[in-house]
Amino acid sequence: MEISPWKEISTAEEVQALIESYGYLHDGCLREVHIVTNESVQEDLSMTFDGELAAILLIQRQWREPSPVIELRFVGVRRFNFVGPDKDDSNLIYEATFSKIDGLFYWADDGAWEPGDDTCVWISADRVFWRARPDLIGQVNRLAEEDVMQELKLPQIKLRKVKDLGDDFEFWRGHKFRILNDGKNLHKDDPYFDYILTSPSWEKDYMMLVNITEKSHKAGAVYGVKISIDHSTRKSIVTKTELLKAFGQDAKNFYLLDVE
């Protein structure tokens, strides 16, 4: 059976149309949940992480139309609340909640759910996709399947502490960096800030750092310190010493950011 492509949902109207077409998932059950973070430890024991989270919910139902099985894929998960059933209860979904509130998508296995209610299974995320999967009816178990992991795959972020790089490391225009929040110098709601090293056309002796943190109020802001360009060679580079000097007390939480 050919698998349907993922379809992204963008508006509250599309959310409502989908949940209505599936009868609010009445007489359904949450068969599987797959969650993948972006944290991992590499062979060289370096760590990759950026706080991203993706999840797939596989929901089966006792109705043939429009499909007995639907998958929901959530990207940029903000919170996932899981509550197991009581031993005398069941996982039956009488009615599900699916909504878009203040730019976030919410799904819950209880039709009476409201934000702040942690008595049921619910998830919130920045983006959501769906597709019909009638081929996955019954006692399926896909925990080890490569196709599931591929669906959830996130860009791999590799962080290398700048202080631990060699003193002869060359930093070029376009290099990206991340400052992690140690709870002292950044606002508590900002886990990190990302920057890119730029070379303004009007400035021949310095480079600058511009904030490129996604969905941040600081995005586009210029870091307030100029970084001297090393003119000892014909290359237009910044040295490790000058870069760390620019970040001062934040240097210990300063990382070179690579996306694989």
Query: Where do the structural domains in the chain lie, given as residue ranges?
Result: 7-154, 158-259
R_g of the chain computed on alpha carbons: 23
pLDDT in tens, 173-228: 999 988 877 665 566 667 788 899 998 888 889 999 999 988 788 888 888 788 98
From CA 194, how far away is CA 239, in angstroms rounded? 19
Degrees (nearest 5) of the Cα angle 10, 219, 251? 130
pLDDT in tens, 118-158: 999 999 999 999 999 998 888 876 655 555 555 655 555 67
The pLDDT of residue 90: 63
What pLDDT is recorded for position 221? 87
Does the pLDDT of residue 61 top 90, yes or no?
Answer: yes
pLDDT at 51 over 60: yes
Residues in the chain: 260
SS3 for the chain is CCCCCCEEECCHHHHHHHHHHCHHHCCEEEEEEEEEECCEECCCCCEECCCCEEEEEEEEECCCCCCCEEEEEEEEEEEEECCCCCCCCCCEECCCEEEEECCEEEEECCCCCCCCCCCCCEEEEEEEEEEECHHHCCCCCCCCCHHHHHHHCCCCEEEEEHHHCCCCCCECCCCEEEEECCCCCCCCCCCEEEEEEECCCCCCCEEEEEECCCCCCCCCCECCCCEECECCCCCCEECHHHHHHHHHHHHHHEEEEEEC
**Whole-number mean pLDDT of the chain?**
84
Q: For the residues 51-80, what does the mean pLDDT come to?
A: 91
Could you tell me how far CA 192 lies from the centroid of its own chain?
Answer: 13
What's the pLDDT score for residue 200?
87
Model confidence, pTM: 0.60
What is the pLDDT, as a whole number, of residue 148?
55
